[in-house]
Structure 1
Amino acid sequence: MEVIYGVNPLKEALISGRGGVEKIVLARGRTEAAIREIRILAAQQGVPVEVRERSHLDELTGKASHQGVLGICRAYHYQDLDAVIANRHPSCLYDLVLILDGITDPHNLGALIRTAHCFGANGVILPEHRAASVTATVIKTSAGAVRHLPVARVANMARALDELKTRGFWIFGADAQASQSVSAPDYSGAVGLVMGAEGKGMRPLIRKKCDFLISIPMLGKIDSLNVSVSAGIVLHEIRRKQSRHPAGQR
């Protein structure tokens, strides 16, 4: 079991039907509209609601910013690679998968999942080891997006990239040292975008597996962006370019 907290993450978990919410705990005195909406959703799904003192919620969340509401849920269920690939957004012409190599900060992971969802990515692929997993912090930071977007964890990232290639994906790696600008490719076809850890970037083997390396031109005196901001810029450019091309077949 795990605890998710915050109004929006809990509401999205209930709306999506994927949250596995077993019980909701409210801080005494919370009666505003957002809480009433959560109560209605819970009643519709047969999820019990318990009212407790705020100190009880503090204990369950380690005094995190829970906003007076939390859910006791089944542990997050990861999807497999097939489920991610199958989840193409109905409004998008091409498949787009975000691949995260060595993202260890849960806040960055949550922001990246939220960004991927907003740009219509099929899903997100994570490595099993030396990387953040989906936790309550990730769920809250993603604003509930993790409940709408499949996330897969793979034991061997290099092998997963090879599998994507056999299924027609071109693999693009975001690398600050790459000579090719993010605006240069046309991105027609299925795309897998690899984002590496802040500071370290992609691991050498993963970099070698990329078909293309791209960078974001910058003019400021600081030579790097937060990884979720970088991902947003690249994903926007990919979708902008893809919208100019006729859709191919899977």
Structure 2
Amino acid sequence: MERTAPDEPERAGPGRAVPEGTDPEQERARELVAGATRVVVLTGAGISTDSGIPDFRGPNGVWTRDPEAERLSTIDVYLSDPEVRRRAWLRRLDNPAWVAEPNAGHLALRELDRQGRLHLLVTQNIDGLHLAAGHDVEDVVQVHGSLPEAHCTACDWSGPTEEVLDRVRAGEADPPCPECGGIIKPRVVFFGEELVARDVERAFRAAEEADLLLAVGTTLAVHPVARMVPIAAGAGVPIVIVNGSETEMDFLASAVVRGSISEVLPDLVAPAR
């Protein structure tokens, strides 16, 4: 779809001028969302920053400020070095995700769900805030896993991460599995681990089935999930990108909206004016 050039008249749709002071890109995005009944959403770290959870590679990101944090999330190192696990569990005690609450951006997507127009929500985030906002777990694909859940790397045991952290607070530096004594980790995808194939397949299939793909708070640089955008484009699905900065796939979008996600997103999903 051809984007309006800066020197062309601003339009909000056939025969309707954009109200003075309105961002034409945002108005176009709003029209696309309003007209869609099978919206597939892809979210990244940017939707949670207003909840106090930093992103990973931005100026104040986790990896940017502390390169060792990436090493603590590398599976081979984690499994082979008890000291790494000890430091990793200590860091998890202070993870902002434990006190974070869904912000207006998360709640806007929940409103889209309540309207019956959300086909699937795919998130790269591990903070669990989409579920905290009220989404059914069956409607959310957490492609990188879930920090609030823990599991044993040697057997089928799983349980709340908070219960493992209680053991750390009680003095266990590297709590072993209560069933087999194996190594416990959060149910998140570490560096060196594969994504769950059925989750990726479900995300790709949904991108083709949608009548709108809404990418929120992601630079679309993390693969394979970022492929949802070209898959949707190839199927003729309109794409709306909402982010605070440029993404690698803005050129594929029908509308690109810049700004605070917790401010922009509620307006995009609000009932038609």
TM-score over 0.5 for the alignment? no
Range into which the TM-score falls when normalised by the shorter chain: 0.3 to 0.5
Q: Which has the higher contact order (CA 8 A, sep 6+)?
A: 2
Under a length normalisation based on structure 1, what TM-score does the superposition of the two structures give? 0.32
